[in-house]
Amino acid sequence: MGMCRHWVGVVSLAVLLGGCGDSGTATSEGATEGSSGGTAVVSTSTAVGSTSTAAPTTSAGATEPGSAGETEASTVDPSSTGDTGDTTGGGPSCGNGTIDPGEACDDGADNGPGQACNASCVQNTCGDGDPGPGEQCDDGADNGDMNSCKADCSNNVCGDGQVGPGEGCDDGNQVDGDDCTNACALGTCGDGVVAATEECDDGNQDDTDACTSACTNAACSDGFVQPVQGEQCDAGVDNADNSPCTTDCLNNVCGDGKVFNAGGGTEACDNGAENGPGKACNASCAVNVCGDGDQGPDEQCDDGNQAPADGCTAGCKLEQCGNAVTDPNEQCDDGKNGNNDDGCTDACKTPVCGDGLLQVSLGEQCDEGGNNSNTGACLPSCKTATCGDGLIQQNVEQCDDGANNGAGKACSASCKVNVCGDGDKGPGEACDDGNQSNDDACTNVCKLATCGDGFKQPGEACDAGVNNSNTGACTLACKLPVCGDTFVQPGNNEQCDDGNQSNTDMCVGACKLAKCGDGFVQAGVESCDDGNLVDNDACSNACKVPVPHATCVDILTTMNMWGGAAKGVDLRAWTGSTLHYIGCNGDGCTTANFYCNFDQATQKLAFGTTVGTLRAAVDPGNLLGDTMPNSYNGCCNGPLGLCNAPNSVNNGVPVNMVAALCSALGYQNGVIKREDLLNNFCPEVHVTNANGLAWTSDFVASNGFGAEYECTTFK
């Protein structure tokens, strides 16, 4: 029987066999090689039971089993339903019973180990390490015609024509008398002599030593446990890396890198030394899944519960903005995609004006967050501050009245305060010519040029503004104060101003109050004013024309009276010719006793009799003219009759007779120095007015007894 060496690699086993031209039994050498080497998760593209099965391909690349370049791949159960990450290419909807893009199959709840469609929605095929429907075995990369599981996933058994582990030969027949017995042992086996066709021959039937009863070298998967070979077990064709006894004839235990999930095995994964906390496979060979309390490689956290708002989501993602899960206290979460204008900001907040992020789709023109302000560049409405929005932008605008901005308004169209001098007549301005001149029609305070604005314009002699005053340096008519403008300006040394140049009224032409001594005669007040201090000239210091005052020289007379010698005073020129005479004529007093004294220095005139009573002649109303009595016609019985002189009693008229007499003589004062109560047999004369110019008598019974008089102080 021809033999061909079998290799596990990237080259199709069918090609190799075809190259040999022999589908017969493999040599024991091939059996040894086929059962050695590491394991790898493999996939094949050949249906179960195919006679032209492709050689399995390892996930680590095309490498001959047992060679130095062979790489051990992940040993997670390919049919496991645990969450180990999608290493098989299954889509996120694997298990929904519908073959979605990227899935080769999907039987829904029937997906899994030993099924036609595994848990990753990949077809169960020979060489994938998972014995599927129609397969007797599947050792994955260890499949081979010289191994316990052949390349077509059928058990290598005696009589199948393939020399498997523990077989010295296999001629595929039931003839027990030929060179290969029906027990697949060479006919010479057991004689103790190693024939050319034997690997060994120890002459015994002990299958636990180095040479089996079939004269083959002890090998794993020969069905015999050879402790000397380091075997712990050997189930022959039932050896498998997911079975109780591995293809290395070691007891399948957690941590050996082989997933024990058949024949009572409960491992979901086994990454050997990589098992442990925080690994994809934990120390119990269970897949590290979300919720087991152990944070796995693909997990951000794992708190062992499904409770929200504890920092770790039910999907083992950190409850933080950017995990694409809307966690408690988040309004949204799009994974922090860098786009703050897609309905969810990178702060996991629903976009709103004031969040400091510009959302053009929401109509925002700006957003400065907490710096949005009615006085800033960005308004609380997230609109760019502009002149005319009614809000004053600090350090940019002086004002903003919105729609009321404009020419002639308090705030201009450029949001500048309308001020005097800007050329725009604003509220409160009477004019605005844009210049600072006060000599034109509009002053620099934007008032129409008027008297009283404080600026001297053409036609004005002055303008002190609010200080204009008709009594100050500039009148209310903006005229300089002048005498005759009817306004009294003390600063112009005016005491009065009656608006005329008359010097005879109370205010003279130089705007001085009229006074005695100013040289001007004040009508109705002064009788003269010679402007000097000489009191005894034609005008007194009281501005009076000196009233003639009688002296003894003026009035003393010795003319005969009433027909006889007499001595007295002639009063006709002083009394309006109503009281003609007072004196002594021998009746009442003698001429020797009459006296008249005048003192210029003391301004005193005194006259009378030292003894007796004075007699008087009166002509009431000056009816008789300027005459003197030449005869005696009886005691005071008519005009110019002999009457008594006046005394202190004025016959019921409230006028002081002596004062009136002295006034008529040019004196201010007059007193009766002596009255004679004797010789009072005739009626007296008396005065009717205070100036002494109207004298009369009742010519009946009013007796008088004047004797001495004194006049003082010139009028």
Of 89-93, 532-536, 608-612, the range with the lowest mean pLDDT is 89-93
Closest CA to 451 of 442, 464, 436, 470: 464
Specify the pLDDT at position 270: 92
Specify the pLDDT at position 55: 35
CA distances from residue 703 to 536, 645, 652, 659, 686 in whole angstroms, order as listed:
41, 9, 13, 19, 10
Specify the pLDDT at position 100: 92
- Enclosing H/E stretch for 15: helix 13-20
Give the mean pLDDT of 242-258.
Answer: 93
Specify the pLDDT at position 394: 93
- Enclosing H/E stretch for 599: strand 594-599
CA gap 399, 405 in Å, rounded: 9
Q: How confident is the model at residue 408 (pLDDT cuts 50, 70, 90)?
A: very high
Residue 31 has pLDDT above 50, yes or no: no
Give the mean pLDDT of 378-404.
Answer: 94
Q: Which backbone phi and psi does 154 adopt, to 5 degrees?
A: -115, 150
Q: Which backbone phi and psi does 109 adopt, to 5 degrees?
A: -65, -15
Asked if 603 contacts 681 with a C-beta cutoff of 8 angstroms, the reply is: no
Asked if 521 contacts 527 with a C-beta cutoff of 8 angstroms, the reply is: yes
Burial of 119 (0-12, 13-18, 19+ CB in 10 A): buried
139: its two tokens: 């050792």
Half-sphere exposure of 602 (CA within 13 A, CB side): 9
Burial of 477 (0-12, 13-18, 19+ CB in 10 A): middle
> To 5 degrees, how large is the angle CA 47–CA 170–CA 14?
30
- In the chain, where the domains are located: 552-714
Residue 83 has pLDDT above 50, yes or no: no
Say which amino acid occupies 188.
T
Asked if 221 contacts 249 with a C-beta cutoff of 8 angstroms, the reply is: yes
Residue 491 has pLDDT above 80, yes or no: yes
Residue 5 has pLDDT above 80, yes or no: no
Q: Is 507 helix (H, G, I), strand (E, B) or coil?
A: strand
CA gap 200, 217 in Å, rounded: 6
What percent of the chain has a predicted confidence (pLDDT) above 70? 87
Radius of gyration of the chain (CA): 80
Query: Which of 167-192 are b and which e, b meaning 16 or more Cβ less than 10 Å from the residue's Cβ?
Result: bbbbbbeeeeeeebbeebbbbbbbee
Q: How confident is the model at residue 177 (pLDDT cuts 50, 70, 90)?
A: low
Cβ atoms within 10 Å, residue 258: 25
CA gap 262, 277 in Å, rounded: 25
CA distances from residue 138 to 46, 91, 147, 709 in whole angstroms, order as listed:
13, 25, 11, 182
Specify the pLDDT at position 21: 34
Q: How confident is the model at residue 545 (pLDDT cuts 50, 70, 90)?
A: confident
612: its two tokens: 């007796």
328-384 residue pLDDT tens: 888 999 999 999 999 999 999 999 999 999 999 999 999 999 999 999 999 999 999
Q: Is 59 helix (H, G, I), strand (E, B) or coil?
A: coil
Give the mean pLDDT of 644-660.
Answer: 90
Half-sphere exposure of 714 (CA within 13 A, CB side): 19
Residue 266 has pLDDT above 70, yes or no: yes
Please give the residue that has the higher pLDDT: either 98 or 16: 98
Q: Which backbone phi and psi does 44 adopt, to 5 degrees?
A: -125, 165
Residue 679 has pLDDT above 80, yes or no: no
CA gap 502, 154 in Å, rounded: 159
Q: How confident is the model at residue 4 (pLDDT cuts 50, 70, 90)?
A: very low
pTM score over 0.75: no
Give the mean pLDDT of 455-483.
Answer: 91
Specify the pLDDT at position 70: 36
Residue 677 has pLDDT above 80, yes or no: no
CA gap 393, 399 in Å, rounded: 8
Give the mean pLDDT of 251-273.
Answer: 92
Of 12-21, 420-429, 527-536, 702-711, the range with the lowest mean pLDDT is 12-21
Give the mean pLDDT of 12-17.
Answer: 29
What percent of the chain has a predicted confidence (pLDDT) above 90? 54
Query: Which of 293-323 are b and which e, b meaning 16 or more Cβ less than 10 Å from the residue's Cβ?
Result: ebbbeebbbbeeeeeeeeebbeebbebbbbb
Of 175-189, 215-229, 645-659, the range with the lowest mean pLDDT is 175-189
13: its two tokens: 């086993």
Residue 22 has pLDDT above 70, yes or no: no
Closest CA to 238 of 148, 320, 304: 148
Residue 71 has pLDDT above 50, yes or no: no
Contacts of residue 61, defined as CB under 8 A and 6 or more positions apart, other chains included, come to 10, 71
Q: How confident is the model at residue 461 (pLDDT cuts 50, 70, 90)?
A: very high
Specify the pLDDT at position 308: 83
Please give the residue that has the higher pLDDT: either 36 or 183: 183
295-335 residue pLDDT tens: 999 888 999 998 888 888 888 888 888 888 888 888 999 99
Residue 20 has pLDDT above 50, yes or no: no
CA distances from residue 405 to 400, 418, 446, 486 in whole angstroms, order as listed:
7, 10, 20, 51
Q: Is 387 helix (H, G, I), strand (E, B) or coil?
A: coil
Give the mean pLDDT of 248-269.
Answer: 92
444: its two tokens: 């620099």
108-135 residue pLDDT tens: 989 988 899 998 999 999 999 889 999 9
Please, what is the end-to-end C-alpha distance for the chain in angstroms?
Answer: 194
Specify the pLDDT at position 149: 92
CA gap 135, 242 in Å, rounded: 15
Of 20-24, 122-126, 173-177, 694-698, the range with the lowest mean pLDDT is 20-24
The chain-wide mean pLDDT, for the chain, equals: 83
478: its two tokens: 């903006």
Asked if 503 contacts 513 with a C-beta cutoff of 8 angstroms, the reply is: no
Of 21-35, 422-436, 450-464, the range with the lowest mean pLDDT is 21-35
Specify the pLDDT at position 27: 34
Give the mean pLDDT of 201-211.
Answer: 91
Helix/strand/coil (H/E/C) assignment for every residue in 22-45: CCCCCCHHHHHHHCCCCCCCEECC
Give the mean pLDDT of 498-522.
Answer: 91
536: its two tokens: 């005894």
613-641 residue pLDDT tens: 999 999 999 999 989 998 887 888 899 99
Q: How far is CA 664 from the centre of its chain?
A: 99
Give the mean pLDDT of 469-491.
Answer: 91
- Helix, strand, coil % over all residues of the chain, rounded to 5: 10, 10, 80
CA gap 366, 352 in Å, rounded: 12
Residue 33 has pLDDT above 80, yes or no: no
Q: How confident is the model at residue 40 (pLDDT cuts 50, 70, 90)?
A: very low
